[in-house]
Structure 1
Amino acid sequence: MKVNTKNLVSITEANQNFSKVARKVDEDGPVVILKNNEPKYILLEFSSVEHEQEATEKDLIEISQRLISQNREAYTELAK
């Protein structure tokens, strides 16, 4: 995940101005919330989380298909 360095906010600012931070997410993408000047939380749109999960499932299917085709002989032997 790429994060715009301009989208760093303190936890105090996020707490006091949540709607402003949410607007920033809508306009510029994920916002990293800092606690004690260290990245602690990420605020992002829910739809982007769903997209990441779908991509992961797709990747898993492709990997499993590749492993099956590469090891077909072993799977055939194990199935006996």
Structure 2
Amino acid sequence: MNINTNSLVSITEANQNFSKVARLVDENGVAIILKNNVPRYIITEFSQYQAEQVTDNEDVKSVASRLIAKHRAAFEKLAK
């Protein structure tokens, strides 16, 4: 993961000037909040968060489909 240094904000600055954090998200798509000079929190646009959630659900569906296909005979016996 590459981090744009323009997206970094200290937790103190984020607390005192949240509008700056919102502007960073608008400009860069993300803001990274540092706590003790270590990346601790990430703020993204809600639409980006939703897109990532759909991807996670699709991964679960593909794994489930693969397991069902692999063990179809066992599932059919259990269904009887």
SS at match of 1:76: helix
Partner of 1:27 in structure 2? 27
**Does the 8 Å CA contact 1:3/1:32 hold for their aligned counterparts?**
no
Q: What is the distance in 1 between the residues matched to 2:55 and 2:3?
A: 22
SS at match of 1:68: helix
SS at match of 2:39: strand
**Does the 8 Å CA contact 1:14/1:33 hold for their aligned counterparts?**
yes
Partner of 2:11 in structure 1? 11
Runs of 4+ in 1 over 4 A off after TM superposition: none
Q: Which runs of 5+ in 2 are unaligned?
A: none
Q: TM-score of the superposition, structure 1-length normalised?
A: 0.82
Q: What is the distance in 1 between the residues matched to 2:13 and 2:39?
A: 14
Residues 13 and 36 of structure 1: CA distance in aligned 2, closer, same or farther (over 3 Å): same
Residues 64 and 55 of structure 1: CA distance in aligned 2, closer, same or farther (over 3 Å): same
**Identity %, equivalent residues:** 53
**Does the 8 Å CA contact 1:3/1:31 hold for their aligned counterparts?**
no
SS at match of 1:33: strand
Q: TM-score of the superposition, structure 2-length normalised?
A: 0.82
* Residue type of the alignment partner of 1:5: N
